[in-house]
A and B are shown apart, each in its own frame.
Chain A
């Protein structure tokens, strides 16, 4: 069977799995963006225990592999009575992982806004909240867009790890189909091509963003 026929036979299932993968990545991104924001705020707060907790969170989630984090969310939590489906566990695990990186991205974005601007705003008597809303945030958002884009691309690729806890993603579907058609190499190459088709446009977009923010 050639690639064309293989695609003919499998594309419905692959596209369904690709859709599941996209949902997984998107859900994890949303979780990461929200949790990451909370962690970033804790990191920058004046409360020392809160800062410590945030720093620990970041260090733990950046210092351990995503796979291990997924194991713990899926397998370990069951022992204390929390049951997630593999899909949910993957989304939560990848989301919490991404949050650690996003928290640092938020922080870098805020710190990259030139302090002179904040001082100038204070000097003309702008209240703290308004400074944040009108001076700092617009610029910080421009700065973090590209890095967040990179996190999104990484998330898309990391969803493949979810297959190792049997979450229904592209790689798991590839494993199933391999045992149906007995052409593992061709199947994984097809899957690789699908991932490429999903990620490449995103990375072109991010590069465009990076070029625009440099101006």
Chain B
């Protein structure tokens, strides 16, 4: 039957749980944002390399993609973590996590960028060439601005996936949301409540992210890729 004193104690601890988890959530968001930026910058370069007319650059980018997409991200994080120690670089765990998620994310985003660039009708570049633009000018002024809009849904999907993947950083003792939850569980043994809260917080974060992305898409009047 219901033990009301235990229930009372649990409810009393709720603010404490939410506080700790809240700090973890902030770390999660920060980690997600930082990794997203790394992934976007590197992914953009990779996309250009894949699209370039240099077969060498294109090959390097393809190899990068295949490697990072066929190995689990947890393994990549561990390799990076131990690899950095091996070559004598000591980063805080969260730094290694940002780099690890960023490198992995770059592979995913590069495909998003590449396909959105290819969506832009060839006639657009031809019109740009016909008024005397070089390839790079045409890319910068005509193709990329249009491709960016098309890439937004893909970027949003990636961001939400990244948010969830950051939970793996708990294995490297990064003080993000999942790590804080595990800590609380080992402190208080309130497994059910804490993991329930954990799930709810992730759910809220991902729902908020997807709603925000949908609103941004609508405001920029994004035309979805066919």
Contacts and interface: CB of A to CB of B under 8 A. Distances in A.
B123 interface: no
Nearest to B79: A188
A192 B178 CA distance: 24
A53 to B, nearest CB: 16
Contacts of A117: none
B86 A185 contact: yes
B192 interface: yes
A188 B199 contact: no
Given A67-B167, A67-B178, A160-B74, A203 B69 contact: yes
Interface stretch (A4-12, A44-52, A69-77, A86-94): A69-77
Contact of A189 (B73, B79, B202, B207): B79
B195 A64 contact: no
Contact of B178 (A65, A75, A153, A159): A65
A66 interface: yes
Contacts of B164: 64-66
B80 to A, nearest CB: 9
Interface residues of B, number: 34
B70 A195 contact: yes
Given A60-B203, A68-B202, A76-B195, A199 B178 contact: no
A22 to B, nearest CB: 14
Contacts of A161: 72, 74, 168
A68 B199 contact: yes
B199 A185 contact: no
Interface in B188-226: 191-192, 195-196, 198-199, 202-203, 206-207
Interface residues of A, number: 38
B167 to A, nearest CB: 4
A78 B198 CA distance: 17
A54 to B, nearest CB: 16
B75 A195 contact: yes
Contact of A158 (B72, B76, B79, B85): B72
A194 to B, nearest CB: 9
B82 A185 contact: yes
Contact of B74 (A63, A69, A171, A189): A171
B169 to A, nearest CB: 10
Nearest to B193: A76
B78 A79 contact: no
Interface string B51-75: 0000000000000001101111111
A109 to B, nearest CB: 17
Nearest to A193: B71
A119 B12 CA distance: 61
Contact of B70 (A72, A185, A196): A196
- B178, B185, B195 interface centre (most CB from chain A within 10 Å): B195
A62 B206 CA distance: 9
- A69, A157, A188 interface centre (most CB from chain B within 10 Å): A188
B95 interface: no
A195 B67 CA distance: 10
A65 B73 CA distance: 13
A171 B69 CA distance: 17
Contacts of A3: none
Contacts of B185: 75
A153 to B, nearest CB: 8
Given A65-B202, A171-B78, 18 more contacts: A64-B164, A64-B199, A68-B199, A72-B195, A76-B191, A76-B196, A79-B191, A160-B72, A164-B74, A164-B170, A184-B78, A185-B85, A188-B82, A189-B79, A195-B70, A195-B71, A199-B71, A200-B70
8 contacts: A65-B165, A67-B170, A71-B195, A158-B72, A160-B72, A189-B79, A192-B79, A195-B72
A-B pairs, 8 with minimum CB distance: A160-B72, A199-B70, A65-B167, A65-B164, A157-B72, A185-B82, A63-B206, A160-B74
